[in-house]
Structure 1
Amino acid sequence: MTDFLLELRSEEIPARMQAAARAELEKLFRAQLSAAGLEAGDLTIWSTPRRLALIAKGLPEATAAVSEELKGPRSNAPPQALEGFLRKTGLTQDQLEDRDGVYFAVIDKPGRATAEVLAEAIPAIVRAFAWPKSMRWGKASASSESLRWVRPLSGIVAIFGEELVPCEVGGIASGFATRGHRFHCPGEITIGSVSDYAEKLRACHVIVDHEERQAIVRDGAAKAAADAGLTLVEDEGLVIENAGLTEWPVPLLGRFDEAFLEVPPEVIQLTARVNQKYFVVNGADGKLANGFVCTANIDAKDGGAEIVAGNRKVLAARLSDARFFWEQDQKKTLAQHAEKLANITFHEKLGTVADKVERVAKLAEWLASEGIVPNCDPALARQAAELAKADLVTEMVGEFPELQGLMGGYYARAEGLPDAVADAIRDHYKPVGQGDDVPTAPVTVAVALADKLDTLGAFWAADEKPTGSKDPFALRRATISIESLIIQNGLRFGLLPILDMATQAGGTAITNASKVRVRRAMDAAKAEGLGVMAVTGGNAVGLKPFGQYSMAFDTRAHDLLDFFADRLKVQQREAGVRHDLIDAVFALGGEDDLVRLLARVKALQAFMATEDGTNLLAGYKRAANILKQAGEVSGIAATTPPTDADAALLAALDAAEPAASAAVAEERFTDSMAALASLRAPIDAFFDGVMVNDPDEAVRAYRLGLLARFTGAVHGVADFSKIEG
């Protein structure tokens, strides 16, 4: 068994592409070997900014000989069929085997030297490599058939054992030579085998193992901060990126002017992280300190003093820009900034961001005034909603879109607006997907809920629903966020009426946006002296008091409620809630209070985990099958129960039905399950003791009616037909 080394050396590979490149190299290598009948086994894949390396240990010296059997035509088939089969196999007729009148070809394929397989695989891997972005270079780039790579490919090392695997791709021939660190050891290094590859590169200031470099960055940055009495703000993404930018990482601590700390800490961290790839640090008080950690790619003779000084100047320039944005933005109030939202299109079918803000403000105020979000001041909810998107047009958010909402909160506080308003502006985008913090402050909840409900209703009205894996407007995420807000805050309301309101408002927005487009076309036509027809305007939909909506809701609202049900299953799966039980409760109809629904589902799940629940489900399914075969059942005939088993089930139903119904009405769902459990023994005894399809028509009708009443009692709690098992 022999080890194999492959190194593909190039100009700098972007750090963000290296993880995917390692996975691609492994996938292609395994595929090439598998096609040749070789098992790759465990592979080691490394990357640096200038190379991808693969080590395969324990490869055989040659592939095994194989025998391939092909079925041919029948022996009495036309001569043309036989001739075609012989051409395909390269055999003669006397080499075929006749088995019961059918020709078979047995082709023995000798094994191949593994080195030969590898020599063919390497060019195939390089040419098939999928990069997010790639390029051609040199004179050959004039042809579209020339080699493509992420950056110009400059060298290939391919060694099997201690022997070179000769190959060539794009004019680059394989060899034993690679190169060390660009500055510390720029000359060629001769690699003898897999065993000395990593250590020879280390001696030349290249740590080829990306995970080792990550550990150096992670631990070195923390130590540099700790040595100065500071604490590193951990950022694993930045660790990986810095390791992908360096072959010999050296973390260094620097300082910036304390005056910059007047800028919000998130701005400083984002400036350092995004623009310069620096870590930030906290002081002993837990607040952001005027320090940063950069990662050099050389072992500087002066200990990195010049490197730190240069990075300090660059960071100072970036922070000066950030401070300028911070100061300029505060020269206007958020309300003044918000005036510009009328110039930003939210969606071509739905008007501007200003239009959306007005809809959200109305809805947030209504959610508060109707008590749907308890203890929420309607005026504050409206004010926060009107200003929530204002920071989108600020200089700071223009530079750092990631800070939208957060900067609005800072500007609101600096302006002297109420804390509840500032907090709502800051957090109204939350929760952003599963696992994010869920707001609990009433004003924030009202604005966050209104914003997401409006987005869903508007896009549903515009028929821009998610399809398959496509969800360009993140509507699935918005739905899960709404459900989290409702469940975490225990908000009690029927979801369907509010979804109907949202879709109606979206429909009105579409109409108004269309009219705006028509007016613009009219104005353009008038400017050219053309005659046009007048078009009247329309107002945004008003919001009725809660409870004044008809139950005849728009079909879009029902469709949206079904979408909520699907997302609820996804959201609750992590909590261990069974999707079929959610279906069983939703199927009853009229249950769109998510808090009550989940309480019901959890009680049902606990019940189904018991022996009573399992047996009752079996009894229900048996009863449902009998009733399905019997067709329409009118009810229990007014006669004396034919047997004691009939009488026992009737008595149990007389007791269980009202008890279960009362418990459901009072939201005592555990008690409702207990009432159902009392039916388990009578239904078992019923099936054991009687024949439902009795020859006597009156007895049969009585028992079918009894079963219909039994399934009806069960349906009062949940639709057991939806439960699996």
Structure 2
Amino acid sequence: MPDLLLELFSEEIPARMQAKAADDLRRLVTDKLVAEGLVYEGAKAFATPRRLTLTVHGIPARQPDLKDERKGPKVGAPDAAVQGFLKATGLASLDEATIQKDPKKGDFYVALIEKPGKPAIDVLAEILPVIVRTFPWPKSMRWGERSAKPGALQWVRPLHSIVATFGIDTEEPDVVAFDISGIQAGQVTRGHRFMAPDEISVRRFEDYEAKLYAAKVVLDPQRRRDIILADAKTLAQAQNYELVEDQGLLDEVSGLVEWPVALMGSFDEAFLSIPGEVIRATIRANQKCFVVSDPATGKLANKFILTANIEASDGGAAITAGNERVIRARLSDARHFWETDHKSLPEYRDSGLRPLDQRLKKIRDQKIVFHASLGTQGERIDRIIRLAREIAPLVGADPDKAARAAELAKADLVTEVVGEFPELQGLMGKYYALAQGEDASVAAACEEHYKPQGPADRVPTDPVSIAVALADKLDTLVGFWAIDEKPTGSKDPYALRRAALGVIRLLVDNGIRMHLQRKSLLIEMRFRILGALARERGFTKQLTSTLDILNSDKDHASLEVELISSLERSIEGLYSEIFAKADAAQLNLLSFFADRLKVQLRDQGARHDLVDAVFALEGQDDILMIVRRVEALAAFLATDDGKNLLAGTKRAANILRIEEKKDGRAFDGAPDASLYAQDEEKALAAAIDRARAEATEAVAREDFAAAMTAMAGLRPAVDAFFEHVTVNADDKSVRENRLKLLNEIRAATRAVADFSKIQD
């Protein structure tokens, strides 16, 4: 079957847009082909800085003929109905229709419409111009004399030519004939801008790819990445260095060149006095170059590797020299920033404060806003300090060190280096904290409190870092929940999902017990809701004294007492509304944690319904214990006892649901032992009492495996009960008693989980 070759040749496409553009081109064309009845065998798209290319193979030569049977009016229907039917179907008269007999509803007319399929090349000529004109670039432009005319083509950069051929591999392909703003589709492209700029005539994909390579263009982005990485490693190893790999930079550089050529440059060794991360960020951000390290020491060497887009006649000497000049200037700037950050700020020179503390004072004095509804960065720091001090004993950290780390953690945000390279926030805080003699754990927490920032990121293990990281993330979550700025759909501008997953990983990976429904967090949420309502209803002046309480250095117990009395004084009656909103917001936040935990466990192969079954129990806000309970529940349900007990419990729940609906009441009282008429009832009652006691005791000592074992003891009694006992007995009192006994099964299993939430 024929193949399609499509190339859209333009000026340089930004590297960040190339991968998505190639995927969009493949998706748009193939979706349209399928919609037109042209089911293809395979498709692949490619991108270089100057072209988007698509090859689709195994396309049918023409559309299939379509046959459609359309039902019409009844025989003898009014003329208006008949005429409407003829017009809709394109029939000249009823003689062209058939009559379908229906003894019940009466005979009716049927039109058999046959629509012959079109040649695939004609279909392509129709769909490709539409796809090009409506291509979903994030940004596009118009150019040339026609740019001001209605319907002028918009493309990411000026489009120069289009290759569009279609045919089988044993014959000369045909050109798909179409025109877009004066650009005629053909079979001519160009190679490398400098090394092979002449026109190249191509026929099909294999021919096209080979000719491009001969013209110094590597079409496949993955192949370009492989070449860059291999050549850079070889170049580094040749001089006894090791390439510092950077996947993000590799992806970007592969989108900047069509013919990658690796070259090595150097910079003044004196610049190595700057932290390696600053050197790397400078060279990466400004020149898109890789750095190398000394394998003996692991430290950066004064060399870098650049990727040129040309085989220069001088071996790349001029290109390397040009990059060295720029990097020298940029590293000079970086060194200036680094040295400036170690000096006192002019406005605080006589304060006696150390450099990092001066930056902290700058944050407070300038009242840098964290969020319009959540106050300043300084106020947020105070909240994190208070929360970190509270969490510290729970994670084995020194409260004073945790508070100090929380105080300094955001100070580097107003340093020169972080201002130039925001991605270094936290890391620079660690360097500056060590430079002014802070405790090593305090300095480490300045860097690590942002972690983990993703599923592959490292989880801190130092107790001080854990305390500050939890405080930072919990404050963020509580604050945004209080002002109702929760993630919606795919939108999460404040990375709240990442913050919740970070809390989960910090607790689980470090084996930390902590209740998320903390009184202190509830109090903080009340304050945030108070502020939001004050702004919404226009009485912020009355809140000055109340907000002063929040910013005072008091524990949460004192804060709560003063919060209530202050609210009663300044805004009579409002505190009850605030407390209700805060309680609802905290429960909603806990539900959000449950959803994030389900995502985390599902990625590890666990069942999300088991998380629901555990979270459905009251007071489940200890993430570590929830995970352990889910693990024990999963292991139990994998056994025959677990499966059969689940089936029995669900059977009991289903009977109860039906009977409770029928009677309009719940059967939640204790059963009367004197009404047990069969041995199976007595055995089940005894088994329930025994299992509930054992499971409750096991849960109390957090031995969830033992709790599941206790529940397994119910299985024989449950099976025997359903086999020999009729629940809906004729005697109403016996029936009610047996339904209460079924409710006891449901209640007993809730010692470990809500079995009704578990899927079969």
Does the pair score TM above 0.5?
Answer: yes
Residue in 1 that maps onto 2:453 = 432
| Range moving further from structure 2, 580-589 or 382-391 | 580-589
Secondary structure of the residue aligned to 2:303 is strand
- Alpha carbons of structure 1 residues 299 and 512: separation in structure 2 relative to 1, 3 Å: same
- 1:202 alignment partner, one of 184, 207, 213: 213
Matched, 1:90 2:64: no
Correspondence 1:66-145 to 2 at 5 A: 66-93=66-93, 94-100=95-101, 101-145=107-151
Aligned-partner residue type, residue 466 of structure 2: V
Long gaps (5+) in structure 1: 520-532
| Contact 1:351–1:512 (CA under 8 A) maintained in structure 2 | no
> Which residue in 1 is equivalent to 2:352?
none
SS at match of 1:24: helix
Residues 205 and 454 of structure 1: is their aligned pair in 2 closer, same or farther, counting only changes over 3 Å? Answer: same
Counterpart residue number, 2:708: 673
Q: Alignment partner for residue 338 of structure 1, among 338, 342, 360? A: 360
Q: Which residue of 1 is the match for residue 613 of structure 2?
A: 584
Q: String of CA shifts for 1:138-195, please: whole Å, max 9, x gaps.
A: 1211134210111111111222343333221111112232212111122222224444
* Deviation at residue 441 of structure 1 after TM alignment: 0.8
How far the C-alpha of 1:450 sits from its partner, in A, is: 0.9
In 1, Cα distance between equivalents of 2:720 and 2:409: 64
The amino acid of 2:176's aligned partner reads V
Structure 1 match to 2:384: 360
| C-alpha deviation, 1:695, in angstroms | 3.3
- State the alpha-carbon separation in 1 of the partners of residues 697 and 545 from structure 2: 54
For residue 71 of structure 2, give the secondary structure of its aligned residue in structure 1.
strand
> Which amino acid letter does the alignment assign opposite residue 314 of structure 1?
V
Specify whether residues 661 and 116 from structure 1 end up closer, same or farther in structure 2 by C-alpha distance, changes over 3 A only: closer
- Determine the structure 2 residue equivalent to 1:167: 178
* Contact 2:394–2:512 under 8 Å retained in 1: yes
Letter in structure 1 aligned against 2:332: S
If the length of structure 2 is used for normalisation, what is the TM-score? Answer: 0.88
Matched with 1:569 is 598
**1:585/1:600 contact within 8 Å kept:** yes
Q: Provide the C-alpha distance between the structure 2 equivalents of 1:320 and 1:607, rounded to a whole number of angstroms.
A: 63
Is 1:538 aligned to residue 547 of structure 2?
yes
Change beyond 3 A, Cα 1:69–1:501: same
Report the CA distance between 1:447 and its aligned residue: 0.8
Shift of 1:697: 4.8
**Structure-1 residue corresponding to 2:723:** 688
Question: Could you say if the C-alpha distance between residues 635 and 138 of structure 1 is closer, same or farther in structure 2, counting changes exceeding 3 Å?
Answer: same
Looking at structure 2, the residues matched to 222 and 399 of structure 1 have their Cα atoms a distance apart, in angstroms, of 29
Contact 1:512 1:537 in 2 (8 A): no
Q: Distance in 2 between matches of 1:646 and 1:192?
A: 83
Residues 31 and 466 of structure 1, relative CA distance in 2, 3 Å threshold: closer
**Alpha-carbon distance, 1:31 to partner:** 3.1
Aligned residues: 709
Quote the residue 1:470 is aligned against: 491
Q: Map residues 441-452 of structure 1 onto 2, 5 A cutoff.
A: 441-452=462-473
Among residues 700, 706, 716, which one is paired with 2:751 in the alignment? 716
Match of 1:154 in 2: 160
Counterpart residue number, 1:278: 289
Which residue in the other structure is 2:8 paired with?
8
Deviations 1:602-646 (A, max 9, x none): 212211111111111222223333444164353232528533323
User: 1: CA distance between counterparts of 2:465 and 2:502?
Assistant: 13
Q: How much has 1:137 moved relative to structure 2?
A: 0.5
- Distance in 2 between residues matched to 1:695 and 1:85, nearest whole Å: 64
For 1:715, the aligned partner's letter is R
Give 2:501's match in structure 1, choosing from 466, 480, 483: 480
Superposition deviation, residue 685 in structure 1? 1.5
Mark the runs of 5 or more structure 2 residues left unpaired by the alignment: 102-106, 345-354, 565-578, 661-665
Q: Which amino acid is 2:6 matched to?
A: L
Cα shift readout 1:13-72 (whole Å, capped 9, x = no counterpart): 111111111112112222333343322321232221111222233434433333333333
Q: Residue 328 of structure 1 aligns to which amino acid in structure 2?
A: T
Q: Cα distance 1:693–1:202, how it changes in 2: closer, same or farther (>3 A)? A: closer
SS at the partner of 2:394? Answer: coil
Q: Which residue of 2 aligns with 1:350?
A: 374
Q: Is the 8 A contact 2:523 2:560 kept in 1?
A: no
1:31 matched residue in structure 2: 31
Q: Does structure 2 retain, via aligned residues, the 8 Å contact 1:350–1:513?
A: no
Question: Measured at CA, do residues 625 and 192 of structure 1 come closer, stay the same or move farther in structure 2, by a change above 3 Å?
Answer: closer
CA contact (8 A) 2:409 2:446 kept: yes
Structure 1 residue identity aligned to 2:512: L
Deviations 1:355-407 (A, max 9, x none): 10111111111222xx2222x11111111111111111111111111111111
User: Post-superposition shift, 1:312?
Assistant: 1.1
CA distance in structure 2 between the aligned counterparts of 1:214 and 1:311, rounded to whole angstroms: 21
Q: Distance in 2 between matches of 1:555 and 1:24?
A: 43
Matched, 1:650 2:685: yes
Letter in 1 for 2:721: F
SS in structure 2 of the partner of residue 346 of structure 1: strand
User: 1:115-136: per-residue Cα shift (whole Å, max 9, x none)?
Assistant: 3223223312211211111100
Superposed displacement of residue 454, structure 1: 1.0
Matching of residues 255-274 of structure 1 within 5 Å: 255-274=266-285
| Deviations, residues 674-721 of structure 1 (Å, cap 9, x unaligned) | 111112112212222222333345544543443333333222222222
- Number of the residue aligned with 2:19: 19
- Does the 8 Å contact 2:177/2:186 carry over to 1? yes
Does residue 308 of structure 1 match 2:320?
yes
Distance 1:157 1:543, change over 3 A: same
Amino acid at match of 1:338: L
State the Cα deviation string for residues 405-459 of structure 1 (Å, max 9, x = none).
1111111111221111110111111111333211121111111111111111111
Instruction: Tell me the distance in 2 between the aligned counterparts of 1:115 and 1:583.
Output: 54
Change in Cα spacing, 1:655 to 1:55, as seen in structure 2 (3 Å) is closer
* Worse-superposed segment, 415-424 or 116-125: 116-125
Once the 2 structures are TM-superposed, how far is the Cα of residue 518 of structure 1 from its aligned partner?
A: 5.6
- Residues 1:352 and 1:106: Cα distance change in structure 2 (over 3 Å): same
Q: Percent identity?
A: 50
| Aligned residue identity for 1:441 | D
Residues 500 and 556 of structure 1 are in contact (CA less than 8 Å); yes or no, is this contact kept in structure 2? no
Residue of structure 1 equivalent to 2:570: none
Cα gap change, 1:416/1:643 in structure 2, threshold over 3 Å: closer, same or farther?
A: same
Residues 418-427 or 153-162, more deviating:
153-162
Aligned to 1:524: none
Q: 2:402 aligns with which of 363, 376, 381?
A: 381
Retained in 2: the 8 A contact 1:180–1:205? yes
Partner of 1:420: 441
Q: Are 2:352 and 1:317 equivalent residues in the alignment?
A: no
Letter of the structure 2 residue corresponding to residue 460 of structure 1:
W
Contact 2:667 2:740 in 1 (8 A): no
Secondary structure, counterpart of 1:245 in structure 2: coil
Give the counterpart letter for 2:492 in structure 1. Answer: D
User: Aligned partners of 2:546, 2:623: CA distance in 1, in Å?
Assistant: 38
- Compared with structure 1, are the counterparts of its residues 638 and 579 closer, same or farther at alpha carbon in structure 2 (3 Å cutoff)? same
Over 3 Å counting, the alpha-carbon distance change for 1:72 and 1:698 in structure 2 is closer
- Preserved contact between residue 515 and residue 537 of structure 1 (Cα < 8 Å): no
1:457–1:503 Cα contact (<8 Å) kept:
yes
Deviates more, 1:312-321 or 1:235-244: 235-244
Pair 114,692 (structure 1): closer, same or farther in 2 beyond 3 Å: closer
Contact 1:165 1:174 in 2 (8 A): yes
Amino acid at match of 2:211: K
**Structure 1 residue 81: Cα displacement:** 3.5
Match of 2:589 in 1: 560
Q: CA RMSD in A?
A: 2.7
Q: Secondary structure at the match of 2:307?
A: strand
